[in-house]
């Protein structure tokens, strides 16, 4: 049975984690021989250039855009809807609820955020989204538990399917003498880079002192709101702390090959996020899949994933703890430990449940059960 998928989300050339995830899933489904199309959600300031695979655009400026978007998705067999607060029109993004009710085909809703302390409006919208969906996916067990314990939803609808990762290059290269720390992803307040800079100041006396790469463009919404103020504040802080010579900022877009090489060059990936709500982090998944040790603050996905020696968890906004964990990781991650990590990543490149082919297959299985049942709902216990 061939199933055609309609995917609703932000989508490239928009730069955000949701768009990247949706593009990767859509591409993998296409590789698997499945046809479909993307209904792209855009906001003011988004690049409106035509994108391959996009069959319709839902502009946030359109008062009733959800109707046309629902009609476009209903031309396919199953709709896969990415949900995140802030991308859909209406109070707390409530227009996506209207869209889900308008669909004439089964829907799978992927929850990228499940708040522990939502406002009344946010709680209501998410409960309505789950109620209207045929099936719901969280990408971590933490997200599923938070959803079931904190919201009035049907547990039978909820499945856990991990965030997918690509295949990174892990071949050993000539290792620099100085240890290399890496943070990557779209930049903006809340990324916590300032805490790593303060941690670096506590490691200046090491011989040799580590280098730190901050890779990624500033988030488009941050640019729209405040320009490059955050990035400039990091430069000023680095100078004040006397670590500016230890830090390299790469503000260009990282294509998959460039990102693979950058990850392979890192001794430690540092995720000093301020958020205490983040139940899904694509950057964290990529780092773990590549076999690179991670030092992260105690956001939910890190707490769940960084077990079995994969990394260290530290308190938020604590540069002393961050510096201590980085130093321990560097001490442990000598050449032999690094080779173990590379070997682990190489073995994971085929058949891993985190690789996109395996992840897409689970979405296909869920969709087939919805279609085969001839219903808009499927029991998650069978997935």
C-alpha–C-alpha distance, residues 103 and 67, integer Å:
9
pLDDT at residue 67 in the model? 96
| Helix spans in 218-334 (H) | 220-226, 229-241, 256-265, 282-289, 300-305, 319-332
C-alpha–C-alpha distance, residues 83 and 138, integer Å:
10
The domains found in the chain, sorted by start residue, are 5-164+355-382 (3.40.50.2000), 180-348 (3.40.50.2000)
pLDDT at residue 110 in the model? 98
pLDDT at residue 352 in the model? 72
Residue spans of the chain under pLDDT 70:
1, 32-34, 167-177, 308, 333-351, 374-383
| Bridge partners, residue 58, by sequence | 41
C-alpha–C-alpha distance, residues 16 and 45, integer Å:
13
CB atoms within 10 A of CB 174: 5
Q: Which residues of 51-115 form beta strands (DSSP E)?
A: 54-59, 78-83, 107-111
pLDDT at residue 346 in the model? 45
pLDDT at residue 30 in the model? 79
pLDDT at residue 341 in the model? 46
What does the DSSP assignment read for 234-245?
A: HHHHHHHHT-GG
Sign of CA dihedral 221, 223, 226, 231: positive
> Are the beta carbons of 329 and 321 closer than 8 angstroms?
no
The rounded Cα 1 to chain-centroid distance in angstroms is: 31
Q: Which residues contact 173 (CB under 8 A, 6 or more apart)?
A: 264, 265
Q: How many CA atoms lie within 13 A of 253 on its CB side?
A: 10
pLDDT digits (tens, 9 = 90+) for 193-203: 999 999 999 99
C-alpha–C-alpha distance, residues 238 and 245, integer Å:
8
Q: Which residues contact 166 (CB under 8 A, 6 or more apart)?
A: 24, 256, 260, 286, 355, 356
C-alpha–C-alpha distance, residues 378 and 383, integer Å:
9
C-alpha–C-alpha distance, residues 355 and 348, integer Å:
8
Preceding peptide of 13 cis, ω within 30°: yes
Q: 273 in helix, strand or coil? A: coil
pLDDT at residue 344 in the model? 46
Preceding peptide of 352 cis, ω within 30°: no
């Amino acid at each position: 049975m061939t199933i055609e998928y309609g995917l609703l989300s932000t989508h490239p050339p928009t730069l955000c984690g949701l768009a990247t995830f949706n593009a990767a899933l859509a591409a993998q489904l296409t590789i698997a021989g499945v046809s479909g199309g993307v209904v792209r959600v855009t906001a003011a300031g988004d690049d409106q250039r035509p994108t391959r695979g996009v069959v319709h655009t839902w502009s946030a400026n359109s008062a009733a855009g959800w109707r046309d978007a629902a009609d476009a998705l209903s031309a396919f067999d199953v709709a896969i809807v990415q949900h995140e607060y802030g991308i859909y029109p209406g109070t707390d993004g409530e227009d996506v609820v209207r869209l889900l009710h308008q669909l004439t085909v089964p829907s799978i809703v992927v929850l990228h955020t499940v708040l522990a302390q939502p406002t009344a409006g946010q709680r209501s919208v998410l409960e309505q989204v789950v109620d209207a969906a045929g099936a719901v996916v969280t990408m971590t067990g933490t997200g599923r538990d938070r959803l079931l314990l904190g919201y009035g939803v049907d547990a039978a609808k909820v499945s856990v399917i991990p965030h997918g990762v690509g295949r990174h290059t892990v071949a050993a290269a000539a290792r620099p003498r100085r240890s290399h720390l890496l943070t990557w992803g779209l930049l903006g307040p809340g990324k916590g880079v300032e805490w790593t800079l303060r941690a670096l100041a506590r490691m200046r006396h090491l011989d040799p002192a580590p280098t730190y790469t901050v890779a990624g463009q500033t988030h488009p919404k941050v640019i729209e709101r405040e320009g490059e103020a955050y990035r400039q504040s990091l430069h000023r802080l680095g100078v004040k702390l006397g670590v500016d010579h230890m830090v390299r900022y790469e503000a260009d877009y990282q294509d998959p090959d460039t990102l693979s090489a950058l990850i392979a060059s890192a001794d430690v990936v540092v995720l000093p996020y301020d958020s205490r709500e983040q139940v899904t982090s694509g950057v964290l998944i990529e780092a773990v899949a590549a076999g690179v040790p991670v030092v992260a603050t105690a956001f939910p996905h890190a707490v769940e994933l960084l077990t079995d020696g994969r990394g260290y968890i530290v308190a938020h906004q604590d540069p002393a703890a961050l510096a201590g964990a980085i130093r321990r990781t560097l001490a442990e991650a000598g050449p032999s430990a690094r080779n173990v990590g590379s070997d682990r990543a190489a073995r994971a490149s085929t058949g891993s449940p985190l690789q996109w082919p395996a992840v897409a297959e689970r979405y296909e299985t869920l969709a087939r059960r919805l279609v085969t049942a001839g219903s808009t709902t499927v029991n998650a216990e069978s997935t």
